[in-house]
């Protein structure tokens, strides 16, 4: 008899973010295009046992279809599989390794790569074993494939592992430097599973490979790889932008507010309620002045705490307590929340909902669509080394795809801190938004447009 369990699954992304992990059905072979399109009806995703020698067990994930797949344009075809030798069946004549594949590691972990080993639905797969782990990771990976910046790609593979594993996207940029993004942490599985992740190519990217790695003592076997370009539509009548300023820095108030007010653009200012008496941060009168100028005041916890590290009672105090403190200053409404350090989990998300917030923003990289989870809004973070061309690219991409991009700033000053931006950089961005007549909304206004 088949067993069915309803469970929520949330997966921690190593790059300081959490994100839901999407698992796809793989009976014999995974038809990603057909399966993903069939899910547009709003059914839940399932994590399926793929081992034909075991009893069939279906585990349904609690909740609606993942927002990544809600991006898909109905009726539009997927692109071809970009990965050469995706099922690892062809070995090189001289090397004996799978053609167009390599294995690698960094730091000290004494990996043992194996090929061929028994695969999921074909004869051959690859495996990594580690028994003397100190640090770093080890993986097999496919030869870089050409991609286009700003395009969206769906990656999947079949795997089984004795320890948790990680998906990392490595992009080669036009200047021949690399950028790495951990896009998912996968749980250990002693039976075959197929995982998928949607990936958006960043500005200036020209090629991509995916590392499926382990970072500890254990083994990982992988097979049945796919990477396809997917069509996207955000679902809004037009694309739009939000301007978020985190932490409530006093110099941001001094340097950013005049630029925004002169242009008539409204922002979302996320305030750490416990820092109001610190001279580095905005005070009560400045917070109320921002509100009176039409800017949204959002909560950013009481103490800038990592909500994933504390008990339920502490998390509730950080979330609900920050809202209470800001309201006590005379702020009229606190509808938006911003996760400190970008870190969240299911407990944190529930605390935000319980406190009466209508949306919450992460620092998960990406764009928001009409069916995005309002409590896990994605964003693009502007740092010291972010160029105006990159920000322009994010804005143009959102307008073209009719999505919502949230631009996140921290200090607006000349400190040279990692997450700072100069007043001149902000002015350039604001001028572009005005010139292009881009709709700029606060987080609450944007969230109100979600389904």
| pLDDT greater at residue 21 or residue 147 | 147
Residue 434: pLDDT above 80? yes
Is residue 38 assigned to a domain? yes
- pLDDT score at 196: 87
- pLDDT score at 122: 64
Residue 176: pLDDT above 50? yes
226 shares its domain with 247? no
We report the CATH number of the domain holding residue 106 as: 2.60.120.260
| Final residue of a structural domain among 230, 260, 287 | 230
344 shares its domain with 379? yes
244 shares its domain with 225? no
Q: Domain count of the chain?
A: 3
pLDDT-based confidence at residue 46 (cuts at 50, 70, 90): very low
Distance in angstroms (rounded) separating the CA atoms of residues 361 and 376: 6
Average pLDDT of the residues in 393-402: 94
- pLDDT score at 190: 93
143 shares its domain with 64? no
Tokens of 46: 């399932």
Residue 43: pLDDT above 70? no
- Strands 218-230 and 240-247: what pairing? unpaired
265 shares its domain with 383? yes
Residue 64: pLDDT above 80? no
| pLDDT greater at residue 69 or residue 126 | 126
Percentage of the chain beyond pLDDT 70 is: 83
pLDDT-based confidence at residue 399 (cuts at 50, 70, 90): very high
Is residue 75 assigned to a domain? no
Residue 160 structural domain: 101-230
- pLDDT score at 39: 30
Residue 17: pLDDT above 70? no
Is residue 89 assigned to a domain? no
Is residue 81 assigned to a domain? no
Is residue 86 assigned to a domain? no
For residue 37, how many other CB atoms are within 10 A of its CB?
A: 19
Close Cβ partners of 167 (under 8 Å, ≥ 6 residues apart) = 155, 182, 183, 184, 185, 186, 195, 197, 210, 211, 212
245 shares its domain with 173? no
We report the CATH number of the domain holding residue 340 as: 3.20.20.370
- pLDDT score at 403: 93
Is residue 430 assigned to a domain? yes
Close Cβ partners of 264 (under 8 Å, ≥ 6 residues apart) = none
87-119: b or e for each residue (b if 16 or more CB lie within 10 Å)? bbeebeeeeebbebbebebeeebebebebbeeb
267 shares its domain with 389? yes
316-350: b or e for each residue (b if 16 or more CB lie within 10 Å)? bbbbbbbbebbeebebeebbbbbbbebbbbebbbe
Cα–Cα separations (whole angstroms), residue 396 to 386, 401, 432: 16, 9, 10
196 shares its domain with 147? yes
Residue 53: pLDDT above 90? no
244 shares its domain with 221? no
Q: Convert the pLDDT of each residue in 113-125 to its tens digit.
A: 999 999 987 689 9
Name the strand (E) or helix (H) holding 12: strand 11-13
215 shares its domain with 247? no
Residue 384: pLDDT above 90? yes
Answer whether 0.75 is exceeded by the pTM: no
Average pLDDT of the residues in 250-260: 97
Distance in angstroms (rounded) separating the CA atoms of residues 451 and 447: 9
Residue 322: pLDDT above 50? yes
Name the strand (E) or helix (H) holding 289: helix 284-292
Cα–Cα separations (whole angstroms), residue 416 to 60, 419, 420, 421: 48, 8, 6, 8
Is residue 36 assigned to a domain? yes
Q: What is the mean pLDDT of the chain?
A: 84
Average pLDDT of the residues in 56-83: 49
| Final residue of a structural domain among 205, 230, 255 | 230
Close Cβ partners of 185 (under 8 Å, ≥ 6 residues apart) = 11, 12, 13, 14, 21, 164, 165, 166, 167
Q: Specify the range with the lowest mean pLDDT, choosing from 37-41, 96-100, 144-148.
A: 37-41
Is residue 110 assigned to a domain? yes
186 shares its domain with 251? no
Distance in angstroms (rounded) separating the CA atoms of residues 288 and 300: 16
| Final residue of a structural domain among 212, 230, 248 | 230
Beta pairing partners, 221: 127, 160
31 shares its domain with 56? yes
């Amino acid at each position: 008899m088949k067993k069915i369990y309803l469970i929520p699954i949330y997966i921690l992304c190593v790059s300081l973010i959490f994100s839901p992990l999407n698992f796809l059905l793989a009976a014999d072979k995974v038809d990603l295009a057909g399966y993903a399109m069939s899910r547009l009806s709003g059914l839940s995703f399932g994590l399926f046992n793929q081992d034909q020698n075991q009893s069939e067990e279906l585990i349904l994930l609690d909740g609606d279809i993942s927002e990544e797949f809600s991006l898909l344009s109905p009726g539009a075809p997927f692109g071809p599989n970009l990965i050469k030798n995706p099922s690892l069946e062809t070995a090189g004549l001289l090397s004996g390794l799978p053609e167009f594949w390599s294995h690698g590691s960094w730091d000290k972990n004494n990996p043992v790569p194996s090929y061929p080993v028994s695969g999921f639905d074909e004869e051959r797969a690859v495996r990594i074993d580690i028994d003397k782990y100190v640090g770093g990771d080890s993986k097999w990976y496919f030869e870089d494939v050409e991609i286009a910046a700003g395009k969206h790609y769906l990656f999947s593979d079949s795997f089984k592992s004795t320890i948790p594993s990680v998906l990392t996207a490595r992009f080669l940029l036009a200047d021949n430097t690399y950028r790495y993004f951990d896009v998912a942490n996968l749980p250990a599985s002693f039976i075959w599973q197929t995982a998928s992740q949607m990936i958006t190519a960043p500005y200036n990217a020209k090629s991509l490979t995916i590392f499926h790695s382990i970072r500890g003592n254990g083994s990982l076997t992988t097979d049945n790889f796919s990477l396809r370009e997917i069509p996207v539509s955000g679902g809004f009548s037009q694309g739009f932008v939000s301007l978020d300023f985190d932490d409530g820095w006093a110099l941001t108030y001094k340097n950013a507010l005049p630029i925004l007010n002169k242009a008539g653009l409204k922002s979302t200012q996320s305030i750490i309620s416990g820092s109001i008496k610190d001279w580095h941060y905005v005070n009560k009168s400045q917070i109320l002045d921002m509100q009176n100028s039409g800017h949204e005041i959002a909560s950013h916890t009481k103490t800038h705490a990592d909500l994933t590290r504390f008990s339920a009672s502490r998390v509730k105090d950080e979330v609900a307590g920050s809202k209470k403190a800001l309201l006590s200053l005379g702020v009229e409404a606190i509808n938006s929340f911003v996760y400190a350090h970008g870190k969240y989990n299911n407990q944190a998300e529930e605390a935000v909902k319980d406190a009466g917030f209508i949306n919450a923003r992460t620092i998960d990289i990406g764009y928001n669509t009409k069916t995005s989870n309002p409590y896990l809004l994605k964003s693009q973070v502007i740092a010291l080394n972010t160029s105006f061309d990159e920000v322009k690219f994010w804005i143009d991409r959102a307008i073209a795809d009719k999505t919502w991009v949230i631009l996140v700033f921290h200090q607006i000053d000349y400190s040279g801190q990692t997450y700072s931006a100069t007043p001149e950089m902000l002015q350039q961005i604001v001028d572009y938004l005005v010139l292009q007549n881009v709709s700029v909304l606060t987080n609450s206004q944007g969230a109100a447009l979600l389904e």
